[in-house]
Amino acid sequence: MSSRITWFALQCSIAALIGCGGGGGEVCTTDDQCASHFCRADGTCGPAEGDGGPTDTGSNGSNSGLCTPNHDGKISANEVPLAAGKMANYRIASSATWSTAGAAGSGASRVWTTAGALSSDADQPVALAAPAGAWWAGDSGFATATYWVQLAASSTLIGVFHVDATGVTLLGIVSPTGSYPYTEITYDPPARILAVPFGATDTWTSSSTVSGYVSGSIVNYTEKYVSNVDQTGTMTTPYGDFPVLRVGTVLTQLQLGTAYRTVRSYAWIAECFGSVATATSQDNESNTEFSDDAEVRRLIP
């Protein structure tokens, strides 16, 4: 199974925006002056439901609540409330030259910008869907599923996730239908994608046996995830500037105890907005910071 397909699942698991409401463009100095609860660095309110911004439609199509950033340097569970019905828009470059290192900010902080155009840019909505009615929903490996999401614009595969007070885990990956040759793999135990609450220097790890079918063929291998909050700073996206914590993760795939593929990824996470940008390396990237042929996605209005 392609590690990049697996890694799209990790990106999507933290890519949902937290619901806002009301208009954008009003003059502001603090987040609480905006219906969207996001005051941009240029002193105007960020967009929200109705003007292309993040939405939280919930099961009945209504706004189901707002989150106000408290800028305490930590991301808590209620500041990344991933759930079915959440959606956001991202600009995605599938193979870009862009440095994950960023530039020096004040003190020990860093600054990054993804506001400019990158090669192979394409806009894509990311929506989290309810498991009910899915062909795999009755399988025991997915009994605790919270939502599913398409892994990438270039793939029809679906990642299935569980969310609770401790964070986000990946339960498995499936094809859109159960017709042969279908894909259905599960993680035992579920892979730890995001652990909350988290702040600077926090770490989490997991190791899972991955088994099932990929395009009709039996597979069995191991995936290890090692994540750490390695930087703090500001990320500029087409949506605006965000104070962020950067989560770096290394995914290693092993067969019979021997590593045969690694992938590096970074997610820049903001309070109440979740992942506002991500960058994913090519397979077996040896450098901690990378810049060539990266998949870069960033939040857009």
- Residue 62: pLDDT band with limits 50, 70, 90: very low
Residue 40: pLDDT above 90? no
13 versus 185: the higher-pLDDT residue is: 185
Q: Enumerate the β-bridge partners of residue 264.
A: 250
CA atoms within 13 A on the CB side of 65: 14
- Residue 213: pLDDT band with limits 50, 70, 90: very high
The 10s digit of each residue's pLDDT in 197-207 is 999 999 999 99
Say if residue 64 is exposed, middle or buried (CB neighbours under 10 Å; 0-12, 13-18, 19+): middle
Q: Enumerate the β-bridge partners of residue 252.
A: 224, 262
Residue 152: pLDDT above 80? no
220 versus 62: the higher-pLDDT residue is: 220
- Could you say which DSSP state residue 69 is in? -
Residue 57: pLDDT above 70? no
Residue 122: pLDDT above 70? yes
Q: Enumerate the β-bridge partners of residue 186.
A: 172, 211
- Give the model's pLDDT for residue 17: 34
Residue 267: pLDDT above 50? yes
> What is the average pLDDT score of the chain?
84
The 10s digit of each residue's pLDDT in 175-187 is 999 999 999 999 9
* Helical (H) or strand (E) element with 236: strand 217-237
Average pLDDT over residues 267-272: 94
Please state which of the ranges 24-33, 86-95, 228-237, 255-264 shows the lowest mean pLDDT: 24-33
Residues 269, 82: contact at Cβ < 8 Å? no
Percent of the chain whose predicted confidence (pLDDT) is above 90: 64
Residue 223: pLDDT above 50? yes
- Give the model's pLDDT for residue 36: 62
Rounded to an integer, what distance in angstroms lies between the CA atom of residue 148 and that of residue 146?
A: 7
68 versus 283: the higher-pLDDT residue is: 283
Nearest to 154 by CA among 295, 13, 293: 295
- Residue 150: pLDDT band with limits 50, 70, 90: confident
- Give the model's pLDDT for residue 39: 67
19 versus 263: the higher-pLDDT residue is: 263
Cα→Cα distances 65→105, 197, 276, Å? 33, 20, 19
- Give the model's pLDDT for residue 68: 83
- Give the model's pLDDT for residue 16: 38
Average pLDDT over residues 216-238: 96
Cα→Cα distances 44→48, 56, 90, 236, Å? 12, 22, 21, 15
Please state which of the ranges 80-89, 140-149, 248-257 shows the lowest mean pLDDT: 80-89
